[in-house]
């Protein structure tokens, strides 16, 4: 009886191993795939024309960038000039105020003298 159990177990193991090998061989095959293009590749002439068109487009873009850079520099220079004019005006106003403020202490002293002359409120 013991021998019969060992034989059945051995046969089950061999059968399980065979099933695994068949499964691996059956499902591990490389699948065939096809790739198709929806349109035909372009000819050398068409490709050369496309490259020439791209070169023209990039040239136009470079020119626009250069023009924009020049415009930015002009605007920057104008802004700098405007800022310098504003600072000049501020300096002029500061000088005018300074000239008027220099006269303030003498007027205050004169007012105090007039105040003392007429008498301070008690």
User: What does the domain layout of the chain look like in residue ranges?
Assistant: 87-116
**pTM of the entire structure?**
0.40
Q: pLDDT value at position 92?
A: 85
What the block records as the tokens of 5 is 């159990």
**Distance between CA atoms of residues 31 and 21, nearest Å:** 19
pLDDT digits (tens, 9 = 90+) for 60-116: 999 999 999 999 999 999 999 988 898 888 888 878 877 776 666 666 666 666 655
How far CA 94 is from CA of 90, 91, 100, 101, 102, in Å, comes to: 6, 5, 10, 10, 12
Using CB atoms within 10 Å of the CB of residue 28, give its burial: 0 to 12 exposed, 13 to 18 middle, 19+ buried: exposed
How far CA 25 is from CA of 17, 18, 51, 117, in Å, comes to: 12, 11, 50, 125
């Amino acid at each position: 009886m013991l021998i019969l159990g060992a034989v059945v177990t051995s046969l089950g193991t061999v059968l399980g191993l065979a099933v695994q090998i068949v499964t691996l061989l059956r499902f591990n095959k490389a699948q065939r795939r096809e790739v198709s293009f929806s349109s035909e590749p372009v000819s050398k002439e068409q490709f050369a024309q496309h490259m020439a068109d791209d070169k023209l487009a990039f040239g136009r873009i470079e020119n626009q960038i250069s023009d924009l850079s020049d415009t930015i520099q002009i605007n920057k220079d104008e802004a700098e000039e405007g800022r310098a004019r504003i600072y000049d005006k501020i300096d002029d106003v500061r000088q005018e105020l300074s000239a008027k403020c220099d006269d303030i202490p003498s007027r205050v002293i004169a007012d105090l003298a007039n105040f003392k002359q007429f008498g301070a409120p008690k």
